[in-house]
Structure 1
Amino acid sequence: MTQPQIRRRGGDAPFVDVHSPAELLARLYALRSGEAPPGLGALAPFAALRGLDAALETLEGALRDGAHLLVVGDYDADGATGTALAVRGLRALGAARVSYLIPSRFDFGYGLSPAVAEAAHALGPDLLITVDNGISSVAGVARARELGLAVLVTDHHLPGERLPEAAAIVNPNQPGCDFPSKDLAGVGVVFYLLMALRARLRERGWFGAGRAEPNLATLLDLVALGTVADVVTLDRNNRILVEQGLRRIRAGHCGPGVRALLRVAGRDPMRASATDLAFAAAPRLNAAGRLEDMSVGVECLLSDDAERASALAQQLDAINRRRREIEGEMKAQAETAVQALDLAEEGLPAALCLYGADWHQGVSGIVAARIRERYHRPVIAFADGGDGLLRGSARSIEGLHVRDAIDRVDQAEPGLITRFGGHAMAAGLSLRAEALEPFRARFAAVVGEMLGGVTSGPELVSDGPLPARLLTLETAETLRLGGPWGKGFPEPCFDGEFEVLQARLVGERHLKLRVAPPEGGAIEAIGFDQAERLALAHGRVRLAYRLDVNDYRGRRSPQLILESVQPI
């Protein structure tokens, strides 16, 4: 495991004059040029969203006509939460009939394709509403129109050269949109659309006479989960949405589905943090879309019955356990392939393209992320798509826009890639099996050019050393609930010198330490999946870590979550 270079954000002694957890939190906000998230009233106004008027006219007309609305969502956690949010929200606003369709990633692939449009038409809707997809579905929207179906696109992905000819498009990243928060997740776009629709219906006298105006804030648990799960940048707007959703979860005012997902993962909803959403709830939700049918996840989020939600969450947990087993096998094979490549080429190329004949395409993205983390290279993991094509999941490193890199390959060698799309840090593509080797070579060359021929090692940004007086349970609790932390507003990471008092392995894969800072006072530390660092853990070491709460059999204590162990 490559040791990261540690760069300090806050200098050598940013907390020397800090004496309380509250002071520490304020200083950490300042280091991030941020603040505690304000209330919902500080959200960017929805009026700046391009295409909103057309979308509202379409939806208002559909509600007044008693139309059948069909939500077509994506098969990841953002798509699932956005789908559940759209269904719940539209029903609360008075829609006569709302249903949903989550196309299988294995049968249909991503987005509103012509085949998905035909499958949707068979369900008899009057209006299709895409969630977390659709901005690149030019052919699918055209096919829907041929079938007599209007389409309202809600998405947050980057558009291609052509936009679909939909009845309306709401996407903060479409050309000409002045909405300031370009980092809304798909579920966030849906929440904004619902807020705008409620305001329009209120103006038009829709509510009253037996039709109550809903409190859409009751749905913010879904917005928080989907936003965190999609790893979008937590700009000010997204931090407000996530923080408000977490407040509701902790107060016991969330849906049974979100509560069940946290509990089945062993997390206490009353103390939920963004980390719990990211690493406990989201993986269990995502597992359904990776291995089976995301409808199980959506049904969990839609259920108002606690027992049914719990049963569905347990089903998702079982699927996630199977996903972990598959991931472990694939990761081991990928490691072997990378090591062989390193020996054959006397050094790794600027980008890695890996393929396993029996790899599961639903898990390839996770494997790409794991290899990326280990070797600090952009990685694409390919699996057989079952239709003569290879499906690749790409994960990038900071400083490289992986979708743009794939686009450059496509421009240089048209026809090599069958289809692609995605973000700066993650993308997907399809190509013929015989195109893998020429693509691998071209992609590595393009990445090398874009990175200037220099592939840097991993870097870890620390907030600086934390005084021993702050290594307390109170500080850990304050940091856990003081976020939300995430991409663009990183969770606090500290580094400093410690004496190793005890070192051992737990669960074969995890490094367990008992350490003491120079000022004295021992504290427990754990490094997940860091067994190979056991040999480094003796004497004086420099640790990079996050301070968290260890809740073991009802006993809560501070604990260091290790990011790096370096001998001194």
Structure 2
Amino acid sequence: MTAEAKANPEANPRAARLLGVASIRRRQAPDVSDSLAHLNPRLARVLAARGITQAEQLDHRLQAVLPPTGLPDLDEAARLVSDAIERDDSILIVGDFDADGATATALCLRGLRAMGGERVDFLIPDRQRHGYGLSPALLDELDTPPALILTVDNGISAHDGVAAAKAAGSRVVVTDHHLPGDTLPAADAIVNPNRADADFGSTALAGVGVAFYLLAAVRSELDRRGWFATRQRPNLANWLDLVALGTIADVVELDDNNRRLVAQGLSRIRSHACAPGILALFTVAGRDPREARSSDLGFAIGPRLNAAGRLENMRLGVECLLADEAAEARRLASTLDQINRQRRDVEANMLDTVAADLDRAMAGQGDTPPSNPADWVRFDPGFHPGVIGIVAGRLKTRWVRPVFVFAPAEVGSNDGRLKGSGRSILGIHLRDLLVEIDARQPGLIDGFGGHAMAAGLSLERSRLDAFRQAFTQALERHHERLPDGREVITDGPLEAADLHLDFIDALDHHGPWGTGFPEPLFDNTFEVLEKTALKDGKHWRLSVRLLDHPNARPVDAIWFRAPDPLPPGRHWQIAYRPVADSFRGRKRLKLFVETALPVTVSD
């Protein structure tokens, strides 16, 4: 019997709770189809666990992207936009203040102008003044109503905004991907893969993905009219970098179609055939675009773009994506980076406030969730409304509990209006929870929306305690779904031969990875040879060796945001991601540690 086989997995959850880290569980071994038999068995296992049963699902060529069949109102929307271009009408793109909305706005602006639209402009709502999406408050600030309003990543719930636009004489085309309500706004056309009458093969499209399909339909319509007989017909693939960024940043499911769109966009970024603003954002983030991965878009580029919409105005982000001159792109990207640093400071201060509150009330909690669900609803008058969603997500991950974080609806305001953002865990549908609360206590919540894992709402500060009580009551029937602690699910062990750059290349080739198609995570038992503290012990550099291969060369590992103290002993079960780390032009294998637990090994 090998040493690793003698490790005690039954002690894993208890050890995790004592250490304040995640327990480790391996996925059930999936059935691997014959179409994957030619691959490395560990790679085939990873792909099968993510629903890959046919080799065609791994075809990331542009020709494999789904046709637009089944997208409702797409032809009518294309006709309306084409009419506006032909008549030289004014077109106003109304975006959203997140990365999906910003990329969709930049995509449509670039695309429509390239197709001959001479009077195309954009407008991004101010989070504080206008609220979300197309609204009467936003339209009130226009000097002249545009002939056509095109919404991107919003509009499906903008009944009042659409009505106001129509009353002012504008035609309205809505492109959105959010779930519709019981009724649709009275727009001239609504393109949304999640409409009840839609029959499109990918309901997971991001807002920028829907916008991409609209541009393709507009180009086809103009082609049919002979519009490009005397004009250059644009290549829409030129802007797939924007589609990739918005898709990853919006954390939509990476189904087969979205993976193709993202893979194409990443390919363009790696070859520098992308927007100068995206290259500049890679530079300020300290990332190499030649090695761009979906994780770079999700954790480095997207947050810098999103920061503008959270603390400033997303117009700055759109202008960065529209910049054609490298110097201007660098200037705007640098400003976005500075705003993102401010956002991280605000976020850290808010998390510190939560920790201090709990320390005072409960004599310290660490990463252990408060036992009373009312304490999973956090508020402080100094919280920033643009960052509450991020903080809720951090607390949800730390506590493995559904969490709501509230802030004054406007920065510095004390008018009693609160804005809340919630994040949930698997098994507890957050929007359904709000529906239940609203049904039990009508009038408690002023308004809400969202989906299973994230939701937002507004209410009066005087009702916050009542909301905490209603939230606690609603969670009573979900008590059995609350886990003991955070659990990390892995794809099992790797062989020693897999700890090689060739295997990492194979993983990268079969991505992109993201929501619904999670990046592979493995676990093995290692001997820990060296430990070096970084940043006062917040991170650790490790030298480890597979326990079953005592003669193998040690491997470097990095554990970011490691617990204090580290697991005891020199034998750990480590959940990790193998990566190709580049330094001074050389690549070498490195492990990024997700969590680690001590194991007992018999000689």
What's the offset of the Cα at 1:249? 1.0
Q: 2: CA distance between counterparts of 1:2 and 1:110? A: 38
What's the offset of the Cα at 1:38? 2.8
Q: 2: CA distance between counterparts of 1:352 and 1:128? A: 41
Aligned counterpart, 1:385: 409
Q: 1: CA distance between counterparts of 2:429 and 2:376? A: 15
Q: Once the two structures are superposed, what CA deviation does each residue of 1:211-250 show, in whole Å capped at 9, x if it has no partner? A: 1111000000000000000000000110010001111111
Q: 2: CA distance between counterparts of 1:506 and 1:478? A: 31
Aligned counterpart, 2:498: 470
Do the aligned partners of residues 341 and 197 (structure 1) sit closer, same or farther apart at CA in structure 2, a change above 3 Å counting?
farther
Q: 2: CA distance between counterparts of 1:188 and 1:438? A: 40
SS at match of 2:58: coil
Q: 2: CA distance between counterparts of 1:127 and 1:222? A: 23
Do the aligned partners of residues 409 and 256 (structure 1) sit closer, same or farther apart at CA in structure 2, a change above 3 Å counting?
same
What's the offset of the Cα at 1:454? 4.3
Q: Once the two structures are superposed, what CA deviation does each residue of 1:56-76 show, in whole Å capped at 9, x if it has no partner? A: 221121111111111110000
Q: 2: CA distance between counterparts of 1:511 and 1:444? A: 38
Do the aligned partners of residues 21 and 276 (structure 1) sit closer, same or farther apart at CA in structure 2, a change above 3 Å counting?
farther
Q: Once the two structures are superposed, what CA deviation does each residue of 1:175-201 show, in whole Å capped at 9, x if it has no partner? A: 211112111000000001111111121
5 Å matches for 1:340-355? 347-349=371-373, 352-355=376-379
What's the offset of the Cα at 1:490? 0.7
Aligned counterpart, 1:566: 597
What's the offset of the Cα at 1:5? 3.3
- Code of the residue aligned with 2:134 in structure 1: it is L
Aligned counterpart, 1:179: 200
Contact 2:277 2:320 in 1 (8 A): yes
Q: 1:97 aligns with which of 109, 115, 119?
A: 119
Does 1:367 find its partner at 2:391? yes
Do the aligned partners of residues 338 and 473 (structure 1) sit closer, same or farther apart at CA in structure 2, a change above 3 Å counting?
farther
SS at match of 1:536: coil
SS at match of 1:244: helix
Contact 1:502 1:515 in 2 (8 A): yes
Q: 1: CA distance between counterparts of 2:38 and 2:347? A: 42
Q: 1: CA distance between counterparts of 2:526 and 2:49? A: 24
What's the offset of the Cα at 1:33? 2.5
Aligned counterpart, 1:43: 65
Contact 2:251 2:514 in 1 (8 A): yes
Aligned counterpart, 1:515: 544
Do the aligned partners of residues 487 and 37 (structure 1) sit closer, same or farther apart at CA in structure 2, a change above 3 Å counting?
farther
Q: 1:539 aligns with which of 548, 570, 577?
A: 570
Q: 1:162 aligns with which of 169, 173, 183?
A: 183
What's the offset of the Cα at 1:22? 5.8
- Code of the residue aligned with 2:117 in structure 1: it is A
Contact 1:479 1:548 in 2 (8 A): no
Aligned counterpart, 1:431: 459
List alignment gaps of at least 5 residues for structure 2: 1-18
Q: 2: CA distance between counterparts of 1:545 and 1:80? A: 33
- Code of the residue aligned with 2:299 in structure 1: it is F
Q: 1: CA distance between counterparts of 2:254 and 2:208? A: 14
Aligned counterpart, 2:474: 446
- Code of the residue aligned with 2:382 in structure 1: it is D
Q: Once the two structures are superposed, what CA deviation does each residue of 1:104-125 show, in whole Å capped at 9, x if it has no partner? A: 1122121212111222x42542
Q: 1:411 aligns with which of 430, 439, 464?
A: 439
Q: 2: CA distance between counterparts of 1:486 and 1:351? A: 31
Q: Once the two structures are superposed, what CA deviation does each residue of 1:502-539 show, in whole Å capped at 9, x if it has no partner? A: 2232113213221111113211111221242x431531
Do the aligned partners of residues 240 and 350 (structure 1) sit closer, same or farther apart at CA in structure 2, a change above 3 Å counting?
farther
Q: Once the two structures are superposed, what CA deviation does each residue of 1:22-54 show, in whole Å capped at 9, x if it has no partner? A: 664444223322242431222222131011122
Percent identity, aligned pairs only, is 48
Q: 2: CA distance between counterparts of 1:502 and 1:510? A: 14
Does 1:400 find its partner at 2:428? yes
Q: 2:400 aligns with which of 376, 385, 395?
A: 376
Contact 1:380 1:394 in 2 (8 A): yes
Do the aligned partners of residues 426 and 339 (structure 1) sit closer, same or farther apart at CA in structure 2, a change above 3 Å counting?
farther
Does 1:528 find its partner at 2:557? no
Does 1:320 find its partner at 2:343? no
Contact 2:96 2:153 in 1 (8 A): yes
Do the aligned partners of residues 450 and 498 (structure 1) sit closer, same or farther apart at CA in structure 2, a change above 3 Å counting?
same
User: Structure 1 length normalisation: TM-score?
Assistant: 0.94
Aligned counterpart, 2:277: 257
Q: 1: CA distance between counterparts of 2:301 and 2:144? A: 31
Contact 1:351 1:378 in 2 (8 A): no
Contact 2:373 2:471 in 1 (8 A): no
Does 1:108 find its partner at 2:130? yes
Contact 1:2 1:375 in 2 (8 A): no
Q: 2:88 aligns with which of 58, 66, 69?
A: 66
Do the aligned partners of residues 140 and 475 (structure 1) sit closer, same or farther apart at CA in structure 2, a change above 3 Å counting?
same
Q: 2: CA distance between counterparts of 1:112 and 1:338? A: 39
Q: 2: CA distance between counterparts of 1:178 and 1:468? A: 46
Q: Once the two structures are superposed, what CA deviation does each residue of 1:64-109 show, in whole Å capped at 9, x if it has no partner? A: 1111111110000001001101111111121121110011112212
- Code of the residue aligned with 2:277 in structure 1: it is G
Q: Once the two structures are superposed, what CA deviation does each residue of 1:297-340 show, in whole Å capped at 9, x if it has no partner? A: 10010111111111111111111111111111111112333556
- Code of the residue aligned with 1:104 in structure 2: it is D
- Code of the residue aligned with 1:183 in structure 2: it is A
- Code of the residue aligned with 1:511 in structure 2: it is W
Do the aligned partners of residues 250 and 427 (structure 1) sit closer, same or farther apart at CA in structure 2, a change above 3 Å counting?
same
SS at match of 2:574: strand
- Number of equivalenced pairs: 562
Does 1:6 find its partner at 2:28? no
User: Structure 2 length normalisation: TM-score?
Assistant: 0.89
Contact 1:152 1:169 in 2 (8 A): yes
Do the aligned partners of residues 250 and 340 (structure 1) sit closer, same or farther apart at CA in structure 2, a change above 3 Å counting?
same
Q: 2: CA distance between counterparts of 1:186 and 1:342? A: 43
Do the aligned partners of residues 451 and 346 (structure 1) sit closer, same or farther apart at CA in structure 2, a change above 3 Å counting?
closer
What's the offset of the Cα at 1:549? 2.3
Q: 1:127 aligns with which of 148, 173, 177?
A: 148
Q: 1: CA distance between counterparts of 2:82 and 2:594? A: 51
Question: What root-mean-square deviation, in Å, do the aligned CA atoms of Structure 1 and Structure 2 show?
Answer: 2.4
What's the offset of the Cα at 1:451? 5.8
List alignment gaps of at least 5 residues for structure 1: none
What's the offset of the Cα at 1:472? 2.0
Does 1:219 find its partner at 2:239? yes
What's the offset of the Cα at 1:394? 1.0
Aligned counterpart, 1:248: 268
Contact 1:136 1:164 in 2 (8 A): yes
Do the aligned partners of residues 270 and 450 (structure 1) sit closer, same or farther apart at CA in structure 2, a change above 3 Å counting?
same
- Code of the residue aligned with 2:51 in structure 1: it is S
Does 1:505 find its partner at 2:533? yes
Q: 1: CA distance between counterparts of 2:244 and 2:273? A: 13
Aligned counterpart, 1:30: 48
Contact 1:154 1:171 in 2 (8 A): yes
Q: 2: CA distance between counterparts of 1:178 and 1:350? A: 42
Contact 2:401 2:482 in 1 (8 A): no
Contact 1:505 1:531 in 2 (8 A): no
